[in-house]
Amino acid sequence: MGGDHRGKTIPQQPGIYALATPSGRAALAVIRLSGAGVREAVETLAGRLPPPRVATLTALSDPGPPDRHGSGMIDRGLVLWFPAPFSYTGEDGAELQLHGGRATVAAAAAALGRLGLRPAEPGEFTRRAFRNGKLDLTQAEAIADLTAAETAAQRRQALRQLDGAFGALVEAWRGRLIVTSARIEATLDFSDEDLPVEVDDRVQGELLLLRSEISDYLGSQTRGERLREGVKVAILGPPNAGKSSLLNALARREAAIVSAVAGTTRDVIEVHLDLGGVPAVLADTAGLREASDAIEAEGVRRATRWAEGADLRVVVGAADDWSALYAPAVRSVVRSDTLVVGNKVDLAPTPPFWDGRPVLPVSVKSGEGIDELLDRLASETSRLAGESEEPALTRTRHQQGLSACVEAIDRAISNLDPVLRAEELRLSIQALGRITGRVDVEEVLDALFRTFCIGK
Ligand SMILES: Nc1nc2c(ncn2[C@@H]2O[C@H](COP(=O)(O)OP(=O)(O)O)[C@@H](O)[C@H]2O)c(=O)[nH]1
Ligand SMILES: [Mg+2]
């Protein structure tokens, strides 16, 4: 992202030049210059340095010996002078707009060579812009995409990425991870009494939030696919909570067998539903508990596997047997975005919260709360499969970096040991840093000293 370079000196790499327009006969040829010696080269060719960033018509002359026609003049053209740091690369830069044609370009190139500039390598201007903080990696990629774009949609997508919105999104997440990481590092380096006790809660809260924001964003990128195939909703919970009854009520038909005998549902039963215009596949699954036989165990395994691949998990508990929700098999399928339904409110009230999540009270028997649940499911599915204004993920590289980040945050969330947590967060920060090309461990230390005044 075009950073603020006031007061910052950008080192000048060796001077380079390149023809920015296609070679061959053309109305115009644009030659671009960057780096050490550009100021002197422009001064020499144009006879003086033109005012910065103003197209100036001037005669360009080769300082070398006059050719056999008796003149050192190369061409008459426009010269643009971009003193550092306000140029594409951040270095001193210039553009020469000459008449198109091989001989003119060859004469200018020969002169530039004599003035100590060399031909640029492919991508060298953009590489310098990246190195000097003028662009992040995602914007450099956007430039490659833009020059390769053949359709209007490709061009629009590349332009959106070039405006830096995606890079800024990733950098904002990375900044928050750095601050959170600094909080954890602080607990490692300093004794407990120096730190407020709520640090750990704040860290956990922020990690859960970041995790759901990044995975929502990743999820939003598969919206089209979900819209085609249906949002996968897993109905999970302990046996006898009323999962099969709930599925039948939502589907308004007897798809699953309902029974008071725990462990009746052993396979995954899928029902296709239209939830407010978005297709959904609801799955009724075996009750999650320590299985009493091999077939039930297989059912639990299938339920857990389906839950892993689901877009949305709905955990159902029975109000009259709420403690069954605390079984490890149930806890293990819960994610940050899981909906909690408290069924059988005709028998007993449900607590308002479970595991920090609000409980949606329903009774399949009396029909209470079913419409509200359907509304809630519809809003969740449209969130998961609706249209989005967010910047698009254009490369697998970005997708992989974000996934690696979410995985590391997940491990940090479930790891209460601050040393391992800090390590996982370092990995999550690196994963994002690789996307934008900013990988700097010093930043963690900077954030640490900014956030706390511990040293006193
Ligand atoms: N009182 C009451 N019983 C319910 C309700 N929902 C389901 N049940 C009963 O609870 C038992 C278990 O239901 P089922 O749907 O098979 O539960 P699952 O094991 O979670 O699939 C059955 O006897 C249902 O009739 C409800 O809202 N209220
Ligand atoms: Mg069942």
pLDDT digit string, tens, across residues 378-437? 889 888 876 556 777 777 788 889 999 999 999 998 887 888 989 999 999 999 998 888
Determine if ligand 1 sits within 6 Å of the CB of residue 167.
no
Determine if ligand 1 sits within 6 Å of the CB of residue 285.
no
Residues 406 and 381 in one domain: no
Q: Greatest CA span in the chain, whole angstroms? A: 105
According to DSSP, the β-strands at 269-275 and 339-343 are unpaired
The residue whose CA has the least distance to atom 12 of ligand 1 is 240
Residues 279 and 368 in one domain: yes
The residue whose CA has the least distance to atom 14 of ligand 1 is 242
Mean pLDDT of 126-136: 89
Residues 277 and 407 in one domain: no
Residues 124 and 179 in one domain: no
Question: Can you give the residue range of the structural domain that contains 374?
Answer: 225-385
Q: Which of these, 214, 216, 187, lies nearest to 200 by C-alpha position?
A: 187
Determine if ligand 1 sits within 6 Å of the CB of residue 241.
yes
Closest listed ligand to the CA of 318: 1
- Looking at the chain, the whole-number percentage of residues with pLDDT higher than 90 is 46
Q: Indicate left, alpha or beta for 351 from its phi (over 0: left) and psi (-120 to 50: alpha).
A: beta
**Average pLDDT along the chain:** 85
Where is average pLDDT lowest: 29-43, 131-145, 231-245, 319-333? 131-145
Statement: residue 113 has pLDDT above 80: yes
According to DSSP, the β-strands at 312-318 and 278-284 are unpaired
Helix 199-220 with 396-414: angle, nearest 10 deg: 150
65-109 tens-digit pLDDT = 655 554 588 999 999 999 999 999 999 999 999 999 889 999 999
Q: Ligand 1, closest atom to CA 363? A: 27
CA neighbours closer than 13 Å in the CB half-sphere of residue 186: 25
> In this structure, is residue 267 part of a structural domain?
yes
**Of how many residues is the chain composed?**
456
Q: In what helix (H) or strand (E) does residue 281 lie, and over which residues does it extend?
A: strand 278-284
Look-up: residue for tokens 């370092």?
A: 426
The residue whose CA has the least distance to atom 7 of ligand 1 is 242
Residue pair 126/147 in contact (Cβ under 8 Å)? The answer is no
241 alpha carbon to ligand 1 midpoint, in Å? 6
Q: In what helix (H) or strand (E) does residue 207 lie, and over which residues does it extend?
A: helix 199-220
Q: How far is CA 389 from the centre of its chain?
A: 14
Residues 297 and 373 in one domain: yes
261 alpha carbon to ligand 2 midpoint, in Å? 9
Residues 241 and 297 in one domain: yes
> In this structure, is residue 146 part of a structural domain?
no
Here the tokens at position 326 are 């605390």
Q: How far apart are CA 264 and CA 190, in angstroms?
A: 54
Residues 372 and 233 in one domain: yes
70 alpha carbon to ligand 2 midpoint, in Å? 97
Task: Identify which has the larger pLDDT, 274 or 115.
Answer: 115
Helix 124-131 with 137-148: angle, nearest 10 deg: 160
Per DSSP, the three-state class of 438 is coil
329 alpha carbon to ligand 1 midpoint, in Å? 20
> In this structure, is residue 247 part of a structural domain?
yes
Determine if ligand 1 sits within 6 Å of the CB of residue 317.
no
Q: Ligand 1, closest atom to CA 257? A: 16
246 alpha carbon to ligand 1 midpoint, in Å? 8
> In this structure, is residue 6 part of a structural domain?
no
Q: How far apart are CA 169 and CA 179, in angstroms?
A: 16
Which of 385, 413, 435 is the endpoint of a domain?
385
Confidence (pLDDT) at 1: 40
280 alpha carbon to ligand 1 midpoint, in Å? 23
Confidence (pLDDT) at 70: 47
Residues 171 and 196 in one domain: yes
> In this structure, is residue 2 part of a structural domain?
no
> In this structure, is residue 149 part of a structural domain?
no
Q: How far apart are CA 34 and CA 36, in angstroms?
A: 7
pLDDT class for 168, splitting at 50, 70, 90? Answer: very high
Q: How far is CA 109 from the centre of its chain?
A: 42
Contact residues for 265 (Cβ-Cβ < 8 A; gap 6+): 243, 244, 256, 257, 284, 285, 286, 287, 299
Residues 196 and 119 in one domain: no
Per DSSP, the three-state class of 278 is strand
CATH number of the domain where residue 48 is located: 3.30.1360.120
Closest listed ligand to the CA of 238: 1
Q: How far apart are CA 2 and CA 133, in angstroms?
A: 7
Determine if ligand 1 sits within 6 Å of the CB of residue 264.
yes
Mean pLDDT of 270-277: 84
332 alpha carbon to ligand 1 midpoint, in Å? 23
Statement: residue 303 has pLDDT above 80: yes
Q: Ligand 1, closest atom to CA 262? A: 19
Q: Which of 245, 362, 370 for mutating ligand 1's site (highest number of atoms within 8 Å of CB)?
A: 245
287 alpha carbon to ligand 2 midpoint, in Å? 7
296 alpha carbon to ligand 2 midpoint, in Å? 12
Q: In what helix (H) or strand (E) does residue 17 lie, and over which residues does it extend?
A: strand 16-19
Closest listed ligand to the CA of 288: 1
According to DSSP, the β-strands at 357-361 and 353-354 are antiparallel
- Looking at the chain, the whole-number percentage of residues with pLDDT higher than 70 is 88
CATH number of the domain where residue 427 is located: 1.20.120.430
The residue whose CA has the least distance to atom 6 of ligand 1 is 242
Statement: residue 193 has pLDDT above 60: no
Q: How far apart are CA 33 and CA 45, in angstroms?
A: 13
Residue pair 31/105 in contact (Cβ under 8 Å)? The answer is yes
9-32 tens-digit pLDDT = 788 999 999 999 988 788 999 999
Residue pair 444/181 in contact (Cβ under 8 Å)? The answer is yes
Residues 90 and 213 in one domain: no
CATH number of the domain where residue 353 is located: 3.40.50.300
Residues near ion ligand 2 (CB < 5 Å) are: 243-244, 265
Residue pair 137/437 in contact (Cβ under 8 Å)? The answer is yes
pTM (2 d.p.): 0.55
Q: Ligand 1, closest atom to CA 260? A: 23
CA torsion sign for 167, 168, 174, 177 is negative
Which of 93, 120, 135 is the endpoint of a domain?
135
Statement: residue 349 has pLDDT above 50: yes
Total domains in the chain come to: 3
> In this structure, is residue 236 part of a structural domain?
yes
Q: Which of 243, 258, 269 for mutating ligand 1's site (highest number of atoms within 8 Å of CB)?
A: 258
284 alpha carbon to ligand 2 midpoint, in Å? 7
Residues 181 and 254 in one domain: no
Closest listed ligand to the CA of 242: 1
CA torsion sign for 431, 392, 5, 14 is positive
pLDDT class for 2, splitting at 50, 70, 90? Answer: very low
The residue whose CA has the least distance to atom 23 of ligand 1 is 260
Q: How far is CA 197 from the centre of its chain?
A: 32
> Please, what is the Cα angle at 393 between 387 and 396, to 5 degrees?
140
Residues 343 and 325 in one domain: yes
Closest listed ligand to the CA of 247: 1
DSSP class of residue 121? P
Which of 332, 359, 385 is the endpoint of a domain?
385
Per DSSP, the three-state class of 1 is coil
Here the tokens at position 130 are 């990246």
224-262 tens-digit pLDDT = 667 767 889 999 999 999 999 999 999 887 767 777 777
Supply the DSSP string of 334-397, one letter for each residue: --TT-EEEEE-TTTSPPPSEETTEEEEE--TTT-TTHHHHHHHHHHHHHHHHS---SPP---HH
Confidence (pLDDT) at 163: 87
Mean pLDDT of 259-270: 78
Read off the amino acid at residue 261: V
Determine if ligand 1 sits within 6 Å of the CB of residue 350.
no
- In this structure, what are the phi and psi dihedrals at residue 181, rounded to the nearest 5 degrees? -60, -40
> In this structure, is residue 144 part of a structural domain?
no
Confidence (pLDDT) at 194: 54
